[in-house]
Structure 1
């Protein structure tokens, strides 16, 4: 299959003298904001087909609070379930992943229980 278009996503990480991130900026072609976006943390997972392994890039700014990381992690679990469902059609498994994300978020206190 021939590639019809390409898009580029750029990350710019500003670090202190100990290589700890102080700034995380990203931009993507076609994004609504041409000047880019700021972020406090990022988690990127890439699947290596040849090695059948997941490669990760996890970065967070040194001023990220523990509660923010808890919320960010739980949100990642929940949205991972959404991507899994779209890619596989395995809605039942996605629901289990999503419910785990919500359950652990409630236990951590970053998401209130359903009313």
Structure 2
């Protein structure tokens, strides 16, 4: 069995708020750490049948970036679910939800609300 390592470094300010997130994958063609403004990681505990998660974002992440990030993550989750299950109807529902979420965010943003 081959082992692969993904490293995530989170730099915190005095109040323990993330200022910078860097990550690197051992098997990546990129030899330097990549920067990120946000991180969502979910792990499935098969024994307890529960999801464990880490949600982090840097203090310079803007609200519109967060909406873009969530929209893209929701679409990616739908694609992953489709590859794993082939449940096209549920995938279509997930993608419709993502599109509706993003449309509502844009409407809120156009009204000047954050």
1:83-104 superposed Cα distances (whole Å, 9 cap, x missing partner): 1111111122111101110121
Structure 1 moving runs of 4+ over 3 Å: none
- Tell me which residue corresponds to 1:113: none
What is the CA-CA distance between 1:32 and the residue it aligns to?
Answer: 2.3
SS in 2 for 1:109: helix
Q: Does 2:36 correspond to 1:30?
A: no
Higher helix residue share:
2
Provide the TM-score with structure 2 as the length reference: 0.89
Q: Does 2:50 correspond to 1:53?
A: yes
Consecutive unaligned residues in structure 1, runs of 5 or more? 111-115
Q: Report the Cα distance in structure 2 between the residues aligned to 1:87 and 1:42, rounded to whole angstroms.
A: 23
- Tell me which residue corresponds to 1:90: 87
CA RMSD of aligned residues (A): 1.2
Provide the TM-score with structure 1 as the length reference: 0.88
Equivalent positions of 1:98-113 (< 5 A) are 98-109=95-106
What is the total number of aligned residue pairs between the two structures?
107
